[in-house]
Structure 1
């Protein structure tokens, strides 16, 4: 089921909305339209239409073509529009008429003027109550007050998170761009895509999961096979297998560099910056870089694990030994236990992994487990030697 959500504005009482020819990006023209919602419904054939307007919106102009049987109700509605006193009871008789005209379920819903934060929140609440979970919707932000399109963008993200609603498109009939040919209808879907990229970057910075970019990168030209490599890289990195993660990222990195689309170019530098750890000269430096990355995300256990593994790998690299051989790494770990910085990381790793108190003599570690600022300072002290 697809639902069209359209705002109804105030307009001029004498003439209502301006008559215009709406031109869509595929060349379709809907001539002599005053209200774009009708043109959108004809074109998109939505199963449900939700009309949102205030107590002073031009409900009477929108409904003036109603049947003769509703003439008395129409006069009452028109008077209420003039005095900004439209009620849902006055709108109710026209819902059935519109359902017949549009061949769709129709709801006429009153909303506040969005003058205050409380009223803006109320509009979001009204929308959430009017929609079902996982519903597909199309937003029309042409009419209504000029600040409502901004609120509509917030609504799109709010509904996605709260009710898993999918906004397929956002339409805007650009009357201020009207020419002799007509009025262009703009698709603002790119704004939703921008918000998705911003969300993905924020989520990645929080937990380091490359998979957040999968669907976005498919839109920019990568294949399902490509993004599967990205997901695998995330899995290997988050299971402390930096070598396998590097292998997947190195294959994919060249393909990312070749993408040249407006949206990707906007975020390219930031995304590539977050992936460059795999280019470090050896495994030890790569793991130590990951330790710093996870420390910045406050993922302290994984940061400590990568710091320890990075010290082992760097030691083997300097000794010209195989840094990927398990038994050799085990021997190196035993040798590094005599090193104070490694030994303290071991105590901290055990305390974080097992949830038990460290040995009594490690009072500084015990203190760091009870206070995040002390934990961060403790790790900064232990990470000073990394990447040197």
Structure 2
């Protein structure tokens, strides 16, 4: 079901009480309507199954309903209440019913606060969430509200998607100040703003947990071949299941496509994305694992940080001990046993990693103290990194 939410502003009334200026809104080459209230033309264009009119206690409810042919006595009461900024749902009920009969769809009138401060802004989000239904498809008309309401409406659109379980089909704005020489007002579609926010959300998600797979559907929607975008998600899966070799191989194959992507939004965020997945450029496996350890430590994912730090050391130990197959479990176990005899820091790292992975008490009192405090754990992992990979050893400095 599609529902149209249209904001009603305060505006200024002329002597004839016409409200907003009448203009011809151009939706497409074959659809235009000359009206004062954009929301009604939009309703005719979209043919929604429900209309929600949103305004404050001082919005132009009187002028709006007067234009719809309502009774003079009702309009007079609305005029008086509007002047006092004291419109109530009871005053709007009868005009609302008559408009519903004219349009042939249910109409809801929602009175909201003025959004003057955070408390009122939050209240508006709650009010909107209360009148929508999970699974609805919403179109938002931002044309006639207060000048600051479109900003709030953008936040509301994202909030309703995430919390109320609705789908935002489109955001519309009748751009009266952009009239052309034929005195036609263009109709702007602003759904792209929400798509931009999806990219911003994806960057925040990646910075938090390192899962660059969240970019795959965004790149596919932005024009990248679906198979190519899916390989990015596959690389993220390999990385997050501690398989850096497969992750690096997959990233190597898809990175050029990410680099060359010229979609509208991909071009905007592409450089940032490339930097975030650039760890695979290291010369060899221990470089990749150490880079990942540093990245996960930065994100406070201490288990993955400790795991990749340990694996980086074991990869190098396999090479130093002449064990060609560093992927083999037996070789890695052998490398650990040999190295742990002479490297106490490795044993300390394993103690911390096992405690993080299994939720068990560390073997040493020092490790217990380390795990009791986040700053101490972070510092200790950095110290172990420097001890296990001192500058000038191997390919890692």
1:351 to 350, 355, 360: 355
Give the equivalent residue in structure 1 for 2:376. 374
C-alpha offsets along residues 320-353 of structure 1, whole Å, 9 cap, x if unaligned? 6232233222221222212222221111112222
TM-fit CA distance, 1:54: 1.1
Unaligned runs of 5+ in 1: none
Report the Cα distance in structure 1 between the residues aligned to 2:161 and 2:289, rounded to whole angstroms. 36
Q: Say which SS state the counterpart of residue 266 (structure 2) adopts.
A: helix
Query: Does structure 2 conserve the Cα–Cα contact (< 8 Å) formed by 1:282 and 1:317?
Result: no
Q: Where does residue 6 of structure 2 map in the other structure?
A: 6
User: In the aligned structure 1, how far is the partner of 2:51 from the partner of 2:320?
Assistant: 69
Residue equivalent to 1:17: 20
Could you report, residue by residue, the CA deviation over 1:179-225 in whole angstroms, capped at 9, with x for unpaired residues?
A: 22211111111211111111111111111112221221111112332
1:42 pairs with 22, 41, 44, which one?
44
Distance verdict in 2 for CA 1:143–1:67, change over 3 Å: closer
| TM, length-normalised to structure 2 | 0.92
Whether the 8 Å CA contact 1:285–1:314 is kept in 2: the answer is no
2:393 counterpart residue number: none
Please list, as runs of the form range in 1=range in 2, the aligned pairs for 1:67-86 lying within 5 A after superposition. Answer: 67=69, 70-86=71-87
Q: Secondary structure at the match of 2:10?
A: coil
Cα distance in 2 for partners of 1:28, 1:257 equals 40
Mapped partners of 1:374, 1:230: distance in 2? 35
Match among 271, 291, 294 for residue 293 of structure 2:
291
Q: Counterparts of 1:164 and 1:227 in 2: how far apart (Å)?
A: 26
Indicate which of 270, 278, 303 corresponds to 2:272.
Answer: 270
Structure 1 residue 28: Cα displacement: 4.2
Shifted more, 375-384 versus 349-358: the winner is: 349-358
Q: Is 1:91 equivalent to 2:125 in the alignment?
A: no
Q: CA RMSD in A?
A: 1.7
Deviations 1:123-168 (A, max 9, x none): 1111011112232111111111100011111111221221122211
**Does residue 159 of the first structure (1) align with residue 160 of the second (2)?**
yes
Give the Cα–Cα distance (whole angstroms) in 1 for the partners of residues 103 and 321 of structure 2: 77
**CA distance, structure 1, for counterparts of residue 128 and residue 140 of structure 2:** 11
**Residues in 2 aligned to 1:28 and 1:108: alpha-carbon distance in whole angstroms:** 31
Alignment partners' CA distance in 2, 1:319 and 1:209: 34
Q: Which runs of 5+ in 2 are unaligned?
A: 390-395
Aligned partner of residue 108 in structure 1, secondary structure:
strand
Q: Which of 54-63 and 286-295 deviates more?
A: 54-63
Contact 1:284 1:317 in 2 (8 A): no
CA displacement, residues 39-97 of structure 1 (integer Å, 9 cap, x when unaligned): 111111111111001112111221124456x3322222223223322111111012222
